[in-house]
Amino acid sequence: MSEPQSPANARAGDELIEETPFTATAAANAPSAQAAGGRSFLPKSTLLRHLLILVLSAVGAVILLEVTDPFTNSQLASLTYYAIAAGGLTVLTGMNGQISLGHGALMAVGAYTTALFLGVDGEPLPLPVIFLVAVAISTIVGALVGVAAARLHGPYLAGATLALAVGLPGLALYFRDTLGGEQGLRVRAPEPPASFTNFIDLVSGNPASGTKWLAYVGVICLLITFFLLANLVRSRIGRTWRAVRDQEVAAELAGIDLGAWRVLAFVVSAACAGLAGAVLALVVRLAAPSGFTLVLSLALLTAIVIGGLGSLLGALLGSALLVFLPPFVTNLGGDFGLDQTKAAQLAPFVYGVVLIVAMIFAPAGIVGTIRLRWMTARAKRAVAGRAAHGG
Amino acid sequence: MTDAHGSTSLSIGADAGAGARTAPGTALLEVEGLTSAYGPVRALDGVTLSAEAGRITAVLGANGAGKTTLLRTISGLVRPVAGRVTLGGEDITRAPVEAMVGKGMAHVPEGRGVIAELTVDENLRVGSLFRGKVEKSEFDRVYDTFPRIAERRDNPAHTLSGGERQMLVIGRALLAQPRILLLDEPSLGLAPRIVAQIFGLLRKLVDSEGLSVLLVEQNARSALSVADVGVVLNLGRVVVTDQARTLMADEGLRHAYLGF
Amino acid sequence: MQQFVNVTLSGLIQGSIFAAFALALVLIWRSTRIVNFAQGSMAAATSFIALALIHSGQSYWLALVVALAAGFVLGAVVERVIVRPVEGGPELNAVIVTLGLFVAIQALIAIIAGSEFQSFPAPFGLRGFTFGSTTIALTPNSVFVLIAVLITMVLLVALFRFTRVGLAMRASAFGQEVARLLGVRVGRMLTLGWALAAVVGSLSGLLIAGGGLVYPAYMDSLIVFGFVAAILGGLDSPIGAIVGGLLLGLALSYVSGYVPRGSGLVNLAALVILMVVLLVRPGGLFASSTARRA
């Protein structure tokens, strides 16, 4: 290696260039701590800042849910479970560079657990407890998968998790008596508690329907998940994940156990998928194999890719697309004379096209591309400034 | 690799076409103001040099001087930001990499460039693919020149030693009947004895067959001992161009740029 | 004993199709270091083209030829237009692109042809040969499957071993830059490699469809089985892919033949086999000491 052999090598030496990603890679868009710290109107402390955002988001969510109609409420409820799962996947793929097509299957674990615990004879356990159990079980499954996945990368990991996505629903068919086979398990959604009815009455006076209750449950889960994830990615753990992703060799030389950190990322994202599955079971009121096909996993991948891998806000935006795009394109297809079942396939078609186009033209996603533009412009100004000073 | 094996019998200029010879001493490959950049980092900064027909031109310089980038830009693997490359008067600056060998330029990249998964024989055959049907006698001549690789013609190339690999890639380049041979660090990782053998062979090919060579080397002492002309590169710019023996004699220059 | 023979036979027949599909994956992996997850969808698309022709009254054989030709064109277009921009880039980008193609093609099939299950004809009989009073699980159609796979393999070996194009393709796969410097049009060779792989993939799609049901996602299992077979063989080795395919076919056949209600566990069994191989021998069953980071 006598000379700069590749652009990457040439860049590494130049501190200016290092913060200027000219080549956008799929997994190169994790937020940097400095970038976020620069906003002066928010508290300096990360935790305080996140708490403030949490409170503002909660208020915003209440307003949003109370000014929209019941149908939109149920759409927003769907948004929450997609976003919870996509948030977890962001940690895995965006921060840690691992891909998973198995998160649909992990959601199924959470959903079936919830369905089973809500379906017991007599009084079921309180909802938060059931959710915790669902998270715990999918975390265990995720840990098992993660231990295997930690040694894999790229296409190997994609193939292995693909096998998981295709294979795991088979269990529901095999244990037909417990898991309901092809038909799946109906989910008895619990009634909204009195405190919730009082709260809604106080806030807006709207009827506190079951749909609204489930939307609130989803929003609460989403806010808690994102609050925890946001703090996690800004912590030492998050920095280590990014080091494992970007500087594998250097991280290993620095004594970081790559495998353990990859397993941890998988476990965290599996926990999110489990919670997402639990919320999904409630909102959809059904846990069936047809709800957890490969297309679900690919939809989640689309959400995080379009939002820009590594950005929680991006994951949220991407999830919104998963909720609001299908009815839109299905109607569009209907207008062009497609029947209902065919028009319903337009959404996955768009997911696929989006994945391809995004990877070819904007591998950093929406949020990432904007951030990239901004950073490139800043770097250009810096170069121009340097040149002006005769450097 | 000795005369007994008849390296003089390797007649690379036998056919016309790409192998057409230019009169010795006239400029064959000309590089003018060549500039290449990786992002904003300039690896080559206005390099001008010419390689004459029937001569060995050695480009020397330390790590990072831009030597490899120079060869890669000439053969089109790196696209220049500015400048011009002509071969026998034809502008080849923007020609595709795949077309270069047809125009008479054979580039042996750094690290030898054997295709490890193919056998020795297949490696040679790949080198002549672009010419269409090639007489078996031409392969035999390469094997006669390099008996050590002839013994291993059906072995995968990854079983070869460093010196054997260098022989293989030079033999393969010669099968393309080039007007000019671009060699990137042929001495890298080879024992001095093998380096001397290979440089000796190059000299012989140039003197008896009229081949032209543009050689890039960090091992300046060995390179200057075989070259006709030396070009010293530093941080992407040409520092000095002169007869090889003049450069050898310039102690200050040697200390400053060539490290011996 | 008779059950064992039958289970083994059907395992080998299934396995030969897995082998062909795995071989297609390996061809692409060797040349571009990309696992083509869209290969199943691409094959399904060509099967539906064949089915449309058969429904319009054409013969099976014409439909087969047209479907394989369509596979060739599809493979070439996919490489040239969609995959080329991400070749040599971060591996995650290429993975995501082929996954996108996977779901897009599958949805497109459903939009054009509908999602219903449709029966796909077999060119030969589906009743097993009988010896005396026993009928074995070898049918005229499965003999056709075996012969078709065998011919494909022989043709591929001949192409790569004995032709100039084959040599250029191998050179492009193993040493892109060197091949370009030697005047090989590497881009064309990669396109050709994808096109040929798509033909082989399409063939396995047609073979597995014969006498069964097709729907847009009918190749989902096969992409998993093909991947597992390719991994068993080490992903880099065509011979390994073939052996891996046969072994996997046998293993899955034994699972579905001997485990009670085992047919529902076949996908899961493939997952278990894959995990064990990846953890114990990441380089495949036949890897030498040179352990690769999987």
Would you list the DSSP string of A187-203?
--PPPPPHHHHHHHHHH
Q: What is the pLDDT of residues C47-97, one digit of tens each?
A: 999 999 999 999 999 999 999 999 999 999 999 999 999 888 888 888 899
B255: left (phi over 0), alpha (psi -120 to 50) or beta: alpha
Optimal mutation site among C78, C96, C220, C267, interface A, most CBs of chain A within 10 A: C96
CA distance C278 to chain A (A): 8
| pLDDT (0 to 100) of residue A40 | 52
CA atoms within a 13 Å half-sphere pointing along the CA-CB vector of B76: 22
β-partners of residue B230 are B58, B242
Give me the amino acid identity at C176: Q
% of residues, chain B, pLDDT over 70? 90
| pLDDT (0 to 100) of residue A389 | 59
Give the nearest chain B residue to C164 (CA atoms). B129
C175 touching B, CB under 8 A?
yes
From the list A2, A5, A9, the residue facing B218 with the nearest CB is: A2
Contact C92 A25 (CB under 8 A): yes
| pLDDT (0 to 100) of residue A369 | 64
CA distance A211 to chain C (A): 31
Contact B115 C183 (CB under 8 A): no
Q: What is the pLDDT of residues A12-52, one digit of tens each?
A: 333 333 333 334 444 444 444 344 444 456 666 778 888 88
Chain C 113-172, residues with CB within 8 Å of chain B CB atoms: 164, 167-168, 170-171
At A270, list the tokens: 């599996």
Contact C182 B126 (CB under 8 A): yes
Residue B32 inside a domain? The answer is: no
From the list B77, B102, B108, the residue facing C183 with the nearest CB is: B102
Contact B100 C174 (CB under 8 A): no
Chain A residues whose beta carbon lies within 8 Å of the beta carbon of residue C264: 170, 173-174
Residue C37 inside a domain? The answer is: yes
C91 touching A, CB under 8 A?
yes
Average model confidence (pLDDT) across chain B:
85
From the list A2, A5, A14, the residue facing B41 with the nearest CB is: A14
| pLDDT (0 to 100) of residue B230 | 92
Residue C277 inside a domain? The answer is: no
Give me the amino acid identity at B258: L
| pLDDT (0 to 100) of residue B255 | 83
| pLDDT (0 to 100) of residue A386 | 61
CA A367 to CA A351: how far, in whole Å?
18
For residue C68, count other CB atoms closer than 10 A to its CB.
18
From the list B39, B40, B63, the residue facing A3 with the nearest CB is: B63
Residue B16 inside a domain? The answer is: no
Tell me which of A12 and B25 has the higher pLDDT: B25
Per-residue pLDDT at C5 exceeds 80: yes
Closest CA to A93 of A368, A371, A375: A368
Count residue pairs from A and C with Cβ separation < 8 A: 173
Give the nearest chain C residue to B132 (CA atoms). C164
Domain with C83, as residue range(s), is: 2-219
Per-residue pLDDT at B7 exceeds 50: no
Count residue pairs from A and B with Cβ separation < 8 A: 41
β-partners of residue B215 are B58, B183
Chain A residues whose beta carbon lies within 8 Å of the beta carbon of residue C90: 25-27, 363
Contact B99 C168 (CB under 8 A): no
| pLDDT (0 to 100) of residue A21 | 37
Contact A3 B185 (CB under 8 A): no
From the list C164, C174, C185, the residue facing B118 with the nearest CB is: C174
Per-residue pLDDT at B154 exceeds 70: yes
- Name residues of chain A where pLDDT drops below 70: 1-44, 364-375, 377, 379-391
CA A227 to CA A272: how far, in whole Å?
12
Domain with B164, as residue range(s), is: 3-9+53-65+95-258
CA distance C230 to chain B (A): 19
CA distance A118 to chain C (A): 26
Per-residue pLDDT at C151 exceeds 90: yes
| 3-state secondary structure (DSSP) of residue A234 | helix
A382 touching B, CB under 8 A?
no
Per-residue pLDDT at C197 exceeds 90: yes
- What is the helix, strand, coil percentage profile of chain C, to 5? 75, 5, 25
| pLDDT (0 to 100) of residue A18 | 35
Optimal mutation site among A1, A2, A11, interface B, most CBs of chain B within 10 A: A2
| pLDDT (0 to 100) of residue B2 | 39
Angle at A72 between CA A71 and CA A78, to 5 degrees: 100
| pLDDT (0 to 100) of residue A41 | 61
C186 touching B, CB under 8 A?
yes
Judge residue A383's burial from the number of C-beta atoms within 10 Å of its C-beta, 0-12 exposed, 13-18 middle, 19 or more buried: middle
Chain B residues whose beta carbon lies within 8 Å of the beta carbon of residue C182: 101, 126-127, 129-130, 172, 176
CA B56 to CA B66: how far, in whole Å?
19
Q: Which of A261-265, B77-81, C104-108 has the lowest mean pLDDT?
A: A261-265
Contact A10 B63 (CB under 8 A): no
Chain B residues whose beta carbon lies within 8 Å of the beta carbon of residue A22: 39
Residue range B34-51: mean pLDDT, rounded = 88
| pLDDT (0 to 100) of residue A371 | 67
C100 touching A, CB under 8 A?
yes
A12 touching B, CB under 8 A?
no
Residue B45 inside a domain? The answer is: no
Tell me which of B92 and B255 has the higher pLDDT: B92
Q: Considering the entire predicted model, what is its pTM?
A: 0.83
CA A101 to CA C191: how far, in whole Å?
27
At B85, list the tokens: 């490359």
At B232, list the tokens: 């010293």
| pLDDT (0 to 100) of residue B10 | 44
Per-residue pLDDT at C157 exceeds 50: yes
Angle at C190 between CA B172 and CA B39, to 5 degrees: 85
Contact A351 C227 (CB under 8 A): no
Judge residue B12's burial from the number of C-beta atoms within 10 Å of its C-beta, 0-12 exposed, 13-18 middle, 19 or more buried: buried
Q: What is the pLDDT of residues C257-266, one digit of tens each?
A: 888 887 778 8
From the list A167, A295, A301, the residue facing C96 with the nearest CB is: A301
| pLDDT (0 to 100) of residue C293 | 38
- Summary count for chain C: helices (H), strands (E): 11, 4
- Integer Rg of chain B from CA: 17
DSSP B101: G
Domain CATH for B169: 3.40.50.300
